[in-house]
Structures are given as C-alpha cells and as structure tokens.
Amino acid sequence: MFKVCIISCGMIANNAHIPAFKKFRDDYEITAVCDINETAARETAQRHGIASFYTDAEAMLEAENPDVVSVCVPNKFHKEYTIMALDAGANVLCEKPLAVTYNDAKEMFDCAAKNNKVLMACQSMRFTPDRLAAKEYIDKNGIDDIYYGELSRIRRRGIPFWGAFHIKEISCGGAFIDIGVHMLDALVWLMGNPQVKSVKAVTMQNHKDEIGSLKSSGALAGKVDIARKFDPDEMDVEDFSCGMITFENGARVSFKVAWAANMPESSDIRLIGKKRGIYLPECDVFYGEDEHEKIESQKLLYDSPFAGHFYIADNLRKVLNGEAEPVIKPEETLNVTRIIELFYKSAELGREVYLYEN
C-alpha cells in the first residue's frame, strides 16, 4: 500500500488525481491533502473521505511521510514543491508542464535520481483512443522516417476563466503551455522522441474578453469548486500561437494552438513518413497511390474525462512494484521542455531560436 499526499486542492486534484488514486485502492491510500487555502483543503478532504488536511506542504510531508505525492500547484511552483517532495522521500507525479526551462526540468530529474525516486509529468493526453491506437500501430509497423508533422489544438471559446492560467507570473505562459503542451508531448512521443533543433514561434492575444463555458475552458467535469474571479485586464499571456519546430533528424512540425478562435474545435495530429502517413483523430493511414486503411481506435479502460490520469496512476503503481517502466520517460519530458523554452524565447525575440544558442 502506497501512502499518497496531494499538494493543492483545485480542479485537477479533485477531478483527476484523487479519483485516479482511489480507483486503485488496493495499492494507494490518500492520507492527506494540502492547500494554502484552508477552505479548499478542508472541503477536498471531506468530499473524498481523506483523513487529514494541511495548509503547509512541508508540515504535511514531515507528518505523513508519503510514498507518492501529486503536485497540482500552478506552473510557477512545480519545481519548488516537486523537489520538496522528492527530498522528503516521496515519488512524484507533477502536473504538466513539468517545467518551462530545460535547466529546471533537469534539476528536478537529477533530484529524483539522487533520491532514487520516480518523477513523472502528467502528460495525460497521450491516453486517448486514437493516440493509443496510433502508438501501437507505429510500434508494430513503423511509418518509415517521419519527415513532417502537424498539430492543431483549437478551442472555439476556451480561455480558462478560473484559476490563474491567464497570468504569466503564475502560469508562465498561455494557450501553448496549457493545452499545446499536451499535443506537443503526444506528437513527439508518436515520432519516437527526435531531439529538437530549433523553434520559430508567433504568439498573439485577440480574444481575452470572449470566454465560454467551464467545460470548454478545460474543466471537463463541468465544475470548479472554488473559482477565482476572472479579470480580462489581468490577462498577459497568448491565446493563440503558431509556428514551426525543426528536429535534429531533419523532421519539421508546424503547429497552431488557440484558447479561442473562430474555427472548428480541433485536436488533430498528422504525421507524414516516406511510405505511410497517419491522420488523427480519424485514425486514417495513407500509403501508395490509392491505398488507405483505418486503425481501430482503442476503447479507454476508464470512464472519466480525465482517463489519462488513471492510466498514469496505474503505470506508477506497476513501476513502484517493479512490474513496468515509466510510460512517460524523463528523456521525453526533457525534450518537450526544451521545445517549450525555445518556443517562448522565439516569440519574445521574433525569430527562429536554435538549441545551441542556450
């Protein structure tokens, strides 16, 4: 039985992390939660039948001595609380993105290695029916030297109007770091993790006064327990971005990511190889002049809008029991973090930025 503690009691903790751990109650016991907002901590503990709550994470770690800690704080604080938990002797699941600079991510993984602990980023959107099917197909058949890819993640009206996603000082970025990172991680994973060479990015802000429903903004369960009042005048991050990523193997990926755009909703990935191409989420494979086939999408094992967190919690218990390797590998997360860092540097400088410049 692995003792679990949760740091921060917002939407993602209540609707994703806690239900995922409780699904595997033979392996996990959530003993405590923590939030600097005492009301949030108390209500989360009461709602889920958790014995203890704290307002000080360090005090919780010392008192509870957990085996696993979920870090669900805003992006700015990922490194601080992850290292705190690792040094306290816990394995850590940290919400995406793990970090926004390569050096921070490397320091976090080095800390995990020093303490002989597991650290995984919750890149939960690999675990969709189409992407799981595509990964299985690629691992079995290959698609022969991918030379080009595209990703498109568009929300019609999905600017988060809860939390602090729209404040750079706390979230470190906007749409790209919020929803784009999921698509980026899935695409790089499907491509076999080629190492980034350069990024050319453009960011814009066009729709900060136009918001939609809670669900459209990422609260997939359709509720937020303690919602911070949204003030569009506070918004200083991008709601749209586009650009190109170049990898060391010569492959290129174009992307567009939007919290709000007057276009159809999309979560599309296209991968083109010399002999085959894959289009997701349709699960189409194209090759030859007229040849075309469908990959059968996989039925998800868990009935939840946050099913990916269940897959990750399942994998972690198997890793800790010596039955599996981490499904989200450090080298993949480090590569994604490099891309994030180059993305924001490119947007700031207004030009293509190369890895060797760092």
Instruction: State which fold the 2-122+304-324 domain adopts.
Output: Rossmann fold (3.40.50)
pLDDT at 221 over 80: no
Q: Are 281 and 161 in contact (CB under 8 A)?
A: no
Rounded CA separation 339/101 (Å)? 9
pLDDT at 222 over 90: no
Q: Are 143 and 295 in contact (CB under 8 A)?
A: no
Mean pLDDT check: name the lowest of 26-30, 189-193, 208-212, 273-277. 208-212
128: left (phi over 0), alpha (psi -120 to 50) or beta: beta
What would the pLDDT profile of 341-353 be if each residue is shown by its tens digit?
999 999 999 999 9
Rounded CA separation 358/354 (Å)? 8
Instruction: State which fold the 126-296+335-357 domain adopts.
Output: Dihydrodipicolinate Reductase; domain 2 (3.30.360)
Query: By percentage, how much of the chain surpasses pLDDT 70?
Result: 99
What is the pLDDT confidence band of residue 162, given thresholds at 50, 70 and 90? confident
Average pLDDT of the residues in 189-209: 96
What is the pLDDT confidence band of residue 225, given thresholds at 50, 70 and 90? low
Tokens of 295: 């990959």
pLDDT at 110 over 90: yes
Mean pLDDT check: name the lowest of 178-187, 200-209, 221-230. 221-230
Average pLDDT over the chain, rounded to an integer: 95
Per-residue confidence (pLDDT) for residue 60, from 0 to 100: 98
Average pLDDT of the residues in 23-33: 97
Per-residue confidence (pLDDT) for residue 233, from 0 to 100: 94
The pTM is what? 0.95
- What are phi and psi for residue 158, nearest 5 degrees? -135, 30
What would the pLDDT profile of 31-90 be if each residue is shown by its tens digit?
999 999 999 999 999 999 999 999 999 999 999 999 999 999 999 999 999 999 999 999
Per-residue confidence (pLDDT) for residue 124, from 0 to 100: 96
Mean pLDDT check: name the lowest of 82-86, 212-216, 235-239, 250-254. 212-216
What would the pLDDT profile of 276-312 be if each residue is shown by its tens digit?
999 999 999 999 888 899 999 999 999 999 999 999 9
Domain ranges of the chain: 2-122+304-324, 126-296+335-357
> Residue with structure tokens 């602090």?
164
Mean pLDDT check: name the lowest of 129-133, 187-191, 208-212. 208-212
What is the pLDDT confidence band of residue 338, given thresholds at 50, 70 and 90? very high
Rounded CA separation 159/299 (Å)? 29
pLDDT at 156 over 80: yes
What would the pLDDT profile of 175-198 be if each residue is shown by its tens digit?
999 999 999 999 999 999 999 999
Contact partners, residue 284, CB within 8 Å, separation at least 6? 278, 292, 293, 294, 295
